[in-house]
Amino acid sequence: MAAEPRAMPGPLSGLSVKLITIIVAVILTAGIVIYLPLVANYRDSWLADRLRVGIVAARVLDAVPDVMALPQTLTDRLLNSAGAKAIVYRRGGQSQLLTVEGVEMPKEVVVADMRATDPATRIVGALDTLLAGNGRTLRIVGDSDGTADGVVEVLMSETPLRLGMLAYSRNIALLSLIIAAVTAIALYVFVSRTFIAPIRRITANMVAYRQAPENANLIIQPESRNDEIGIAERELAAMQTDLFSMLRQRRHLADLGLAVAKINHDLRNTLTSAQLLSDQVATLDDPKVQRLAPRLVTTLDKAIGFAQSVLDYGRQSATPPKPGPVDLHLLVDESAIEAGLMGHPEIRFINEVPDDLVINADADQLGRVFVNLLKNARQAFEANTGSTPAPAITTTYSETADELTLTISDNGPGLPPRAKENLFVAFQGSARAGGTGLGLAIARELIEAHGGKLVFVDQPKGARFDVILPIATRLH
Ligand SMILES: Nc1ncnc2c1ncn2[C@@H]1O[C@H](COP(=O)(O)OP(=O)(O)OP(=O)(O)O)[C@@H](O)[C@H]1O
Ligand SMILES: [Mg+2]
């Protein structure tokens, strides 16, 4: 049974939301990845600025070697311009100290060595400042003049650096959000117009079309675009057009079938009346009538048989199988009786299906299939009496991991070429005088309704038909 059509997703579910979520997530992740080196860089240049004041102080101390000779106002100005508590200049085993008057030297300091240049140390340093830098004292260490013999150290509070870094981080976060939003909106607009809107259109069309496939107005009008969506639309339109004409054809055929069934029904009744008359005619004494009557009776019998099987064919297709436990060996025996094989004067019937085999199938329908197949074999022998030395029909059973097979084979004349060409096609497969060509077509339909297959296996002598059912059919 076809599933209920699903409603289209609203604006907050479906493809568009998934798309926006992905875009924003990717941009924010990229933002975080870029943020770390950026903030480390920010810290580096901040520290380098402060160190530069220390280097200026070192230049001054190079010129005036005696610290005491420097006026305190100059020292204070130098230190204040860097926001530093003290500057130390070490050279040639000596160190000189510049401090703000009265400032206390902290015992614990965190070292920021500007001579270390590897990125990982810098990023770790930046994270350390951000997370724990509040209130600490920092000792910035660097070369005084690019050579290793002079070292300058600047002591200062880490708090202003941390505040600066926080402000910088906020700016970056804001910027990333703006970029994410702008990109997401731009991409969303683009993708909505070029992909999501057409996909929604196709989806809505498919949902609507499935509910009324016989309405030609619902066939999608493809847009003139050459990409995958354009192809999908054109293919869909072609498929819907095909389906539309197939359905229309099927309806016409069904209507015709109904008409044929009605005509056929009346025909059968008329023929039955004629049969009654012919029976009475047969009792007349006239020798001419006596000679012709039997032929008239058989002709009428055939015509009625034909009308009846056409009626049956119309009725058959409508009923789905009603499965139940079936003893396969027994069913084959019963079918052989019905097909007139039990006690047949010439044909030997061999049933090799195991005794204890029970399958889950519609006994009535499966029986009809077997009767059809066995009757065909019998009729083939009878039409060619004497051509086969020891006529025999054998049924065997076999199974694999996923299928069970019941084989009906005979050593008779085999299928005439005309029958082979249209095998299993209703009204066309018959190559037998008086045959309607419905037997195999019906049999195949019945087996397929059971989820199985009916196949003709070509072989050099005789005919062989395999009834194949899914292994799940077997009960024990
Ligand atoms: N075992 C067989 N040996 C030889 N020919 C066969 C055998 N089974 C089927 N055929 C051929 O296949 C044809 C089609 O068989 P099918 O049962 O479909 O129709 P039918 O027997 O002619 O008519 P219906 O069964 O409707 O009365 C037969 O006419 C016959 O020529
Ligand atoms: Mg037949």
Q: Is the pLDDT of residue 35 over 60?
A: yes
Kindly report, residue by residue over 224-267, the tens digit of the pLDDT: 888 899 999 999 999 999 999 998 888 888 888 888 888 888 88
Whether 426 contacts 310, CB under 8 Å: no
173 to each of 27, 28, 34, 163, how far by Cα in Å? 11, 9, 11, 15
Nearest Cα residue to atom 28 of ligand 1: 430
Give the distance (Å) from ligand 1 centre to CA of residue 439. Answer: 7
pLDDT band at residue 410 using 50, 70 and 90 as cut-offs = very high
Q: Does residue 359's CB lie within 6 angstroms of at least one atom of ligand 1?
A: no
Q: Answer yes or no: CATH 3.30.70 is held by domain 228-316.
A: no
**CA 402 – CA 470 distance, rounded (Å):** 6
Other C-beta atoms lying within 10 Å of the C-beta of residue 300: 18
Kindly report, residue by residue over 371-403, the tens digit of the pLDDT: 999 999 999 999 988 888 899 999 999 999 999
Q: Which two tokens stand for residue 423?
A: 């095998």
**SS3 call for 184:** helix
What is the mean predicted confidence (pLDDT) over 455-472?
Answer: 94
Nearest Cα residue to atom 12 of ligand 1: 419
Number of the ligand 1 atom closest to the C-alpha atom of 438: 26
Nearest Cα residue to atom 17 of ligand 1: 439
Provide the pairing of β-strand 464-470 with 453-457.
antiparallel
Q: Which two tokens stand for residue 5?
A: 């059509």
Q: Which helix (H) or strand (E) holds 407?
A: strand 403-410
Q: Which helix (H) or strand (E) holds 128?
A: helix 119-132
Q: Which two tokens stand for residue 322?
A: 């009603």
pLDDT band at residue 1 using 50, 70 and 90 as cut-offs = very low
Kindly report, residue by residue over 117-173, the tens digit of the pLDDT: 888 889 999 999 999 888 889 999 998 776 667 899 999 999 999 999 999 999 988
Give the ligand at the shortest distance from the Cα of 441.
1
Q: Which helix (H) or strand (E) holds 164?
A: helix 159-191
Nearest Cα residue to atom 31 of ligand 1: 431
Nearest Cα residue to atom 9 of ligand 1: 376
Q: Does residue 442's CB lie within 6 angstroms of at least one atom of ligand 1?
A: no
Q: Does residue 440's CB lie within 6 angstroms of at least one atom of ligand 1?
A: yes
Number of the ligand 1 atom closest to the C-alpha atom of 441: 18
Q: Does residue 372's CB lie within 6 angstroms of at least one atom of ligand 1?
A: yes
Contact partners, residue 92, CB within 8 Å, separation at least 6: 149
pLDDT, the chain, mean: 87
Q: Does residue 430's CB lie within 6 angstroms of at least one atom of ligand 1?
A: yes
Mutate to test the pocket of ligand 1, among 301, 371, 375, 432 (most ligand atoms within 8 A of CB): 432
Q: Can you give the residue ranges of every domain in the chain?
A: 15-180, 228-316, 324-473
pLDDT band at residue 469 using 50, 70 and 90 as cut-offs = very high
Q: Is the pLDDT of residue 324 over 90?
A: yes
Kindly report, residue by residue over 287-310, the tens digit of the pLDDT: 888 888 888 888 888 888 888 878
Assign 3-state DSSP to the chain and report helix, strand, coil percentages, each to 5: 55, 15, 30
From the centroid of its chain, how far is CA 248? 30
Between 338 and 101, the more confident residue is 338
Contact partners, residue 289, CB within 8 Å, separation at least 6: 281, 282
CATH assignment, 324-473:
3.30.565.10
Q: Does residue 374's CB lie within 6 angstroms of at least one atom of ligand 1?
A: no
Q: What percent of the chain has pLDDT over 70?
A: 95
What is the mean predicted confidence (pLDDT) over 186-206?
Answer: 87
184 to each of 7, 20, 23, 173, how far by Cα in Å? 27, 6, 6, 16
Intrachain domains 228-316 and 324-473 with the same fold: no
For residue 216, the 8-state DSSP code is G
Give the ligand at the shortest distance from the Cα of 410.
1
Contact partners, residue 374, CB within 8 Å, separation at least 6: 335, 336, 339, 341, 349, 393, 408
Q: Ligand 2 being an ion, which residues bring their Cβ within 5 A of it?
A: 376, 439
Nearest Cα residue to atom 6 of ligand 1: 415
Give the ligand at the shortest distance from the Cα of 431.
1
pLDDT of residue 72: 80
**CA 119 – CA 128 distance, rounded (Å):** 14
Q: Which helix (H) or strand (E) holds 53?
A: helix 15-63
